[in-house]
Amino acid sequence: MVRSLQVSYWLTLALSLPEAGFMLRIFIIQHDCGHGSFFSSKRANDVVGMISSLITLTPYYYWKKSHAIHHAHVGNLDGRGIGDVQTLTVKEYLQLSPLGKLQYRIYRNPFILFGIIAFLLFVVVYRFPTSRTKTMKSVQSSIYWTNLGIACLVAGLVKLVGWQTFLLVHFPVEVWAASVGTWIFYVQHQYEDTYWEGQDKWDYATAAMKGSSFYKLPPVLQWFSGNIGFHHIHHLSPRIPNYLLPQCHEENPPLQGAVVLTLRTGIRSMILTLWDEEEKKLISFRDLSRKLAANSQTAEVIGHSNVQSAYAD
């Protein structure tokens, strides 16, 4: 990519796409190391995970712990907060102030969520501890050690090629990788017929099979994403390494009953923003507006009927 700058920056931008794909694949390897599944050796998992974190800008031990919390609470309405995209129920949203509603709408806007927020998450937010829970305090130091490693790596690259070249090459890669990576993890849980329940009814296996999709991607994209599309199996058993997920899916028919999403069908998930506890599905802001309008009309009809009954009496 550095050499392509001498030809055309358009060529550099074109090369940033496969490079972002490689970065995404490294992230999935780090992700598997965090689960202790990529190697049989715990030490090998931790060493490769820490090295990968310098490339993905994601603190290994801190993310490992927060991601474990995500696995333990996915689909649990009472366990939201760590490792998830913020999702409100219809009731929670309606109870917000006008400013609160506006902030949530901005946050859930696809261009904001998968563009600006995704980029800031990896480049800025992951540089600091964001959770104040006691569980996460023990791994906060890993953030600062990761920051030091990243700083040394960036300093070396800047000294080698110059800061302008470094930014021209690395900035588009980071934008693409952060955006696509955030989207893949988002779409695997955020779709219309996903699974959310309160703690009293929540079930781990059901959350894995119904609350995690099978994101069926073309072979090339499946390779770059490290088979993470078999997300239902991954949530059912995180210790299965990504390179065995396709085989596990093929050999176990009961695992083939998950919700299947494709590049085309997954796009609709972008506009699904609220959990409707009555209908047990994710809906969009437009769906909510229609529902409120329908309820209002129903109330008017009932009110009108009551008035007519009163006059008749």
* Residue 122 host element (H or E): helix 118-123
The amino acid at residue 240 is: I
pLDDT at 3: 95
- Residue 117: both structure tokens together: 């927020």
Answer whether residue 120 is part of any domain: yes
Q: Does residue 171 sit within a domain?
A: yes
Does residue 290 lie in a domain region? Answer: no
Specify if 59 maps to a domain: yes
Whether 289 maps to a domain, the answer reads no
Q: Please classify residue 132 by burial: count the beta carbons closer than 10 Å to its beta carbon, then call 0-12 exposed, 13-18 middle and 19+ buried.
A: exposed
Helix/strand/coil for 275 = strand
Q: State which residues form the domain around 163.
A: 3-282
Whether 229 is covered by a domain: the verdict is: yes
Averaged over successive runs of 10 residues, the pLDDT of the chain (313 residues) comes to 96 97 97 96 97 96 91 90 86 96 96 95 92 81 95 96 96 96 94 92 93 94 96 95 96 92 92 94 94 78 50 45
pLDDT at 131: 75
Overall number of domains in the chain:
1
Does 301 fall in a domain?
no
* pLDDT (0 to 100) of residue 311: 38
- 104 assigned to some structural domain: yes
0.85 cut: is pTM over it? Answer: yes
**Phi and psi at residue 102, in whole multiples of 5°?**
-65, -45
User: Residue 149 to residues 47, 146, 161: CA-CA distances in angstroms?
Assistant: 13, 5, 19
pLDDT of residue 305: 52
Give the residues across from 261 on adjacent strands: 215
| pLDDT for the residue 300 | 58
Q: What would you report as the CA-atom Rg of the chain, rounded to the nearest whole angstrom?
A: 23
pLDDT at position 279, please?
92
- As a whole number of Å, the end-to-end CA separation of the chain is 84
DSSP per position, 16-67: HHHHHHHHHHHHHHHHHHHTT-SSS-HHHHHHHHHHHHHHHT--HHHHHHHH
